Amino acid sequence: MSESKSRATLLLIICLLTSVFIAVPAAMAADARVYIHAVSPSKSGYAVDEAVTVNAKIKWEDLSANKTIEITLWNSTDQLESLENYTIPYNVSSTLTPDGTYSGSWSPTTELTEAVGSFTYYLKISGTDGLTLDSESFVVLVAEDQVTLSTVWQDTNNDRVVDQNEQVTFTIYVNWAFIETTESHSLYVNWGTGTDELLTTVSVTAGSGSETATANKGFDATGAKTITFKLKDSTGTVIKTSVCTINVGAAAATTTTTTESAGIVALITANWQIALVAVCVLVVFAVLYKRGDDDKGKKRK
């Protein structure tokens, strides 16, 4: 082999090796990715004007160098605010971590719960060049405030029969959800006299909660009694009403069942509809049978 050919062959080998060393890292870098694994608000529902917390898990794979990302909050068209700039993928010992996860939690200053309804927002991550690496949507549900008032009662003997002057215990349940701010409410009872009597105060706290109250009453007169419980706000406005009706001095309804061996007359008496149908069927058969006999007689003649 000539010296010129040897040099050409050596140069070709060097070029091939160089291309291999360059191509392998490039191929590995092409597989690197950063993406949003999951994103959601911290609660399934919010009150109007309640602050929202957004939780997300961000993952990366096959990174070969440090990378800084920006995490931003968007509506359908515009960026609302930048939540965080995060540098990956170093761990606590400052060594490269090609694969990893970052769990973040942010409380946006942008108002996301101004009105009742279901609203879609987007969490986006982008590189230092501004290009979007990934985007995922999440829904914020804003519900109207909900307050319920319900009542159950129990007499002293627990037989559901209210005797004259027997003590009856009323248990009142107050439940609420999606309350914006804590408010003090008052629980009243009207025993049917037309006058509201204060039973207790109820602190309806922000968010959701429940409270229970009891009231006892004996009635010195018989007859139907209507008891009304009212929940009023700080201005005296009735928020919710619960009504109970009991009948003082009335006997409990009873059902008596008597079982006897029934004869044919008793069965017919108790089931006259069936007996009537049976008689009709017999009459039809008798008419058909008589017609058959008449037809046979005519043929013989």
Q: Give the pLDDT confidence of 141-165 residue by residue, as tens digits.
A: 999 999 999 999 999 999 999 999 9
Task: Give the per-residue pLDDT at 264.
Answer: 36
Is 74 a member of any domain? yes
Residues 129 and 186 in one domain: no
Task: Give the per-residue pLDDT at 66.
Answer: 83
Mean pLDDT for the chain? 81
Alpha carbons 221 and 246: distance in angstroms, whole number: 12
Is 184 a member of any domain? yes
Confidence of residue 60 (pLDDT cuts 50, 70, 90): very high
CATH of the domain at 75: 2.60.40.10
Residues 112 and 200 in one domain: no
Answer with the one of 90, 124, 142 that is the final residue of a domain.
142
Residues 38 and 138 in one domain: yes
Domain interval for residue 102:
32-142
Residues 85 and 154 in one domain: no
Is 168 a member of any domain? yes
Is 159 a member of any domain? yes
Is 186 a member of any domain? yes
Most trustworthy range by pLDDT among 94-108, 223-237, 282-296: 223-237
Residues 150 and 179 in one domain: yes
- Our count of domains for the chain comes to 2
Confidence of residue 57 (pLDDT cuts 50, 70, 90): very high
Answer with the one of 142, 157, 177 that is the final residue of a domain.
142
Confidence of residue 290 (pLDDT cuts 50, 70, 90): low
Cis peptide before 98 (omega within 30 of 0): no
Residues 153 and 209 in one domain: yes
Residues 169 and 219 in one domain: yes
Is 14 a member of any domain? no
Q: Which amino acid is at 221?
A: A
Is 12 a member of any domain? no
Q: Which residue in this structure is represented by tokens 């009304």?
A: 228
Task: Give the per-residue pLDDT at 271.
Answer: 45
Residues 170 and 75 in one domain: no
Burial pattern 27-53, b for ≥16 Cβ within 10 A else e, equals: eeeeebebebeebbbeeebbbbebebe
Answer with the one of 142, 167, 183 that is the final residue of a domain.
142
Residues near 207 by beta carbon (within 8 Å), at least 6 away in sequence: 47, 50, 177, 178, 179
Q: Which residue in this structure is represented by tokens 């109007």?
A: 48
Alpha carbons 168 and 154: distance in angstroms, whole number: 6
Residues 47 and 131 in one domain: yes
Residues 114 and 156 in one domain: no
pLDDT at 274 over 50: no
Is 221 a member of any domain? yes
**CB burial class (10 A; 0-12, 13-18, 19+) of residue 198?**
exposed
